[in-house]
Structure formats: C-alpha cells, structure tokens
C-alpha cells in the first residue's frame, strides 16, 4: 500500500487546513496516512525517524492529537512538508531529509524548499517572470545608500512569512535607517532584502493555487490601512477571476515550478509582478471554500498525480 507522512508544526489539536484535508482525501483513496511533527526528526543509527500518528479514520477540526509513535521515515512512499518548524534547525532538517530523498518522494522537493522559499532565487530569473529590483545585504548602510535613488521601497527578511517584519520605506523617511539597522541586527549578521515597491499592490494581489503546475483556484487579498496584503495582518479576501493573460502567465510559471519539483504552490501575483511563491503550506484551500468556491482538495491530489505503485 502507498503511504504518506505529512510533516507539520506541533499543534495542540487537529486544525482544519492543508494536512487535514489532503490527509483525509488520501486516506479515502486507500493511502496509509501519518501526521508527524517536523521538529521531532532524529537520526537513529542509519535511520531517519520522526514522531507522529497514523490515521485510521478521517480527521476533524478540533480532534485531540492521538498518542505519538516513532516511525522510520523511509517506510513512507511520500512525504509532504507543510511546516519548516524551528528556524534554527532548518539546515539540519534539510540535510536529514536529503539523506532519504533518493528513496522517498518529497513534496515539495528539497530544492524548492531550500531555494524558492527564499526570495533570492526569484530575483535572478528575469527571463522567466517579472520580479522587482532586489538588493540583499547584512550591511544596513549599503542598503540605505541604494535607496537614496528615491522612490518607495520594501525592506523585509529574505525568507519571512505572514507579512512579519515587512516595512514600507522611502529615503525621506527618518525611520528608514533604523529599520534597516534593526532588520540586519546589532551584529549585522542577518540578511535583509531591499526591494523596489510594486505599484498597484495597494489594489490587492491575487493568490493563485497551483497543483502539479496547473492553476486550480484563486482569490484576491486587499490590505486595510497597511501595505501588507497578508490575511494574518488583517487583509480581507474576495473571490476573483484570472484574466486570459494571467492564466497564460500562471500556466507558464506552473511549468517552470513543476520542473523545479514544486508541486503545490501558492503564487502571489500583481500582474505581471510576482511577489512570492509560497511553497510551504500555502493557504487558500479553506479561504476559497469560505468565500463560496469549491473545495479544491481532490483536484490538488488529482493534479499532483499520486499513483499507487
Ligand atoms: N516589492 C514589494 N512591493 C510592494 N509590496 C510588497 C513588496 N514586497 C512585499 N510587499 C507587500 O508585503 C506583503 C508581504 O510580503 P511577502 O514578500 O509576501 O512576505 P511574506 O512571506 O511575509 O508574506 C505582500 O503580500 C505585499 O502586500
Ligand atoms: Mg507573502
């Protein structure tokens, strides 16, 4: 029987979201399904182990977490990473998972998780898609000098999430220098991105869900009294369509992402500008349904093309 382990962050109870819906769907299709905690990964002799629980029935929102068992990760045919867990152990976890990546199919690929999750790679593909001019440094003064050319800028961490530490600044802003200093840290040991401000973001951005390289659903997010269109920062969401141009663009981007091993992605679009590719646990499944759209879970599984071996 094919089997899959979802790797998630520690949680007090079962919560509605990607692992609940995707796990239930695969269980119903005859897969062995386990839900495991990403930060419990360890090495035992030559085995990579993790703690988690197997499903013998569908999960419901609010269910308590069953007693945890320890599994050898290479018994699973697929692993689906839906959290990176603690930041400090990111490299160790990637290296531990890499050691079994020739035996287990990992969604999304470790290349994707390592490189598309950061915003550096995106800035170096001008032939593939539009991405704002981007500078990165641990030296706040270097970044401060760059922004003296004028205009509006975004300063943010290279691999942050949920809109945390994303600042809108200009050279006229007396806070600009201290914001860059704070982001780089007192010991100047944290990288900071300085990015040209994308005009039009204030009208909202489209979150497009891509599965197996194909756009399958989308909605618009619009911030209120904030420059960040993140739902976690109070932005509102509404249903929207993709224009024919946007659809063609997303299909081309989907092919590029699939080649990279990115099978389930949330892309943030202010056409033609890409804000980011969300490759770890992209939100959208629950939001689209709450907005009156369909539950896309089965379509995600179909498009990724899980096959029984
Ligand atoms: N270059 C930019 N121009 C305009 N707005 C931006 C830019 N970068 C980020 N933002 C705004 O900040 C939000 C969060 O930035 P993002 O890079 O997606 O970080 P996170 O990974 O924390 O969501 C975006 O959704 C967008 O509203
Ligand atoms: Mg974002």
The CATH number covering residue 191 comes to: 3.30.1490.20
Residues 261 and 278 in one domain: yes
| Ligand 1 site, residue 280, Cβ cutoff 6 A | no
Q: Which of 37-41, 113-117, 143-147 has the lowest mean pLDDT?
A: 113-117
CA 76–ligand 2 middle distance (angstroms): 31
When computed from its CA atoms, the radius of gyration of the chain, rounded to whole angstroms, is 20
Residue 224 and residue 161 share a domain: no
pLDDT of 173 over the 60 cut: yes
Spatial strand order of the sheet with 134-137 comes to 134-137, 192-196, 152-156, 167-170
For the beta carbon of residue 92, count every other beta carbon within 10 angstroms: 12
Ligand 1 pocket, residue 206 CB under 6 Å: no
pLDDT for 196-232, tens place per residue? 999 999 999 999 999 999 999 999 999 999 999 999 8
For the Cβ of 266 lying below 6 angstroms from any atom of ligand 1, the answer is: no
Q: Using 50, 70 and 90 to split pLDDT, how confident is the model at 308? A: low
What's the rounded mean pLDDT across residues 3-21?
Answer: 97
Flag whether 123 is in a domain: no
Looking at the predicted structure, is the pLDDT value of residue 307 above 80? no
Q: Whose CA is nearest to atom 1 of ligand 1?
A: 197
Q: Which pLDDT value is given to residue 117?
A: 86
- We report the CATH number of the domain holding residue 271 as 3.30.470.20
On whether residue 150 sits in a domain, the answer given is: yes
Percent of the chain with pLDDT over 70: 99
The DSSP secondary-structure symbol of 65 reads P
Q: Which atom of ligand 1 is nearest to the CA of 195?
A: 1
| DSSP-assigned states of every residue in 114-125 | IIISSSTGGGG-
Q: For the chain, how many structural domains are there in total?
A: 3
- Considering the domain architecture, whether residues 214 and 176 belong to the same structural domain is answered as no
Q: How far is the CA of 123 from the centre of ligand 2 (A)?
A: 15
For the CA of 273, the nearest ligand: 1
The terminus-to-terminus CA distance of the chain in angstroms comes to: 8
Ligand 1 pocket, residue 163 CB under 6 Å: yes
Residues 186 and 207 in one domain: no
Looking at residue 143, what is its pLDDT? 98
Q: Domain range holding 10?
A: 3-107
Query: Are 207 and 178 in a shared domain?
Result: no
Q: What CATH number did the domain enclosing 24 receive?
A: 3.40.50.20
Indicate which ligand has the atom closest to the C-alpha of 168: 1
Q: Of how many residues is the chain composed?
A: 309
Best residue among 159, 167, 201, 207 to mutate for probing ligand 1's pocket (most ligand atoms within 8 Å of CB) is 201
Alpha helices in the chain (DSSP H): 18-28, 90-98, 110-111, 140-146, 176-184, 244-260, 285-290, 297-304
pTM, to two decimals: 0.95
């Amino acid at each position: 029987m094919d089997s899959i382990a979802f790797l998630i962050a520690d949680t007090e109870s079962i919560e509605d979201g990607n692992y609940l819906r995707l796990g239930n769907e695969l269980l119903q299709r005859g897969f062995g399904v386990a839900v495991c905690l990403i930060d419990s990964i360890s090495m035992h002799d030559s085995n990579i182990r993790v703690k988690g629980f197997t499903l013998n029935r569908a999960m419901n929102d609010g269910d308590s977490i069953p007693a945890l068992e320890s599994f050898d990760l290479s018994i699973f045919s697929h692993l689906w990473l839906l959290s990176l867990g603690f930041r400090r152990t990111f490299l160790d976890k990637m290296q531990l998972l890499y050691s079994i990546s020739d035996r287990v199919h990992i969604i999304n690929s470790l290349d994707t998780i390592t490189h598309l999750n950061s915003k550096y790679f995106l800035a170096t593909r001008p032939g593939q898609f539009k991405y704002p001019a981007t500078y990165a440094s641990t030296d706040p003064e270097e970044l401060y000098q760059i922004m003296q050319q004028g205009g509006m800028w975004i300063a943010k961490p290279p691999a942050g999430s949920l809109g945390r530490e994303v600042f809108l600044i200009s050279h006229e802003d007396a806070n600009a220098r201290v914001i860059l200093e704070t982001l780089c840290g007192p010991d100047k040991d944290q990288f900071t991105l300085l990015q040209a401000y994308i005009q039009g973001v204030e009208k909202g951005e489209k979150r497009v869900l891509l599965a197996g390289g194909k756009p399958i659903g989308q909605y618009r997010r619009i911030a209120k009294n904030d420059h960040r269109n993140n739902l976690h920062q109070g932005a509102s969401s509404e249903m929207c369509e993709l224009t024919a141009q946007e659809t063609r663009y997303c299909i081309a981007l989907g092919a590029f992402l699939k080649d990279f091993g990115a099978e389930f992605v949330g892309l943030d679009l202010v056409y033609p500008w890409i804000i980011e590719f969300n490759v770890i646990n992209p939100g959208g499944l629950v939001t689209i349904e709450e907005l009156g759209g369909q539950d896309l879970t089965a379509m995600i599984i179909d498009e990724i093309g899980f096959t029984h071996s």
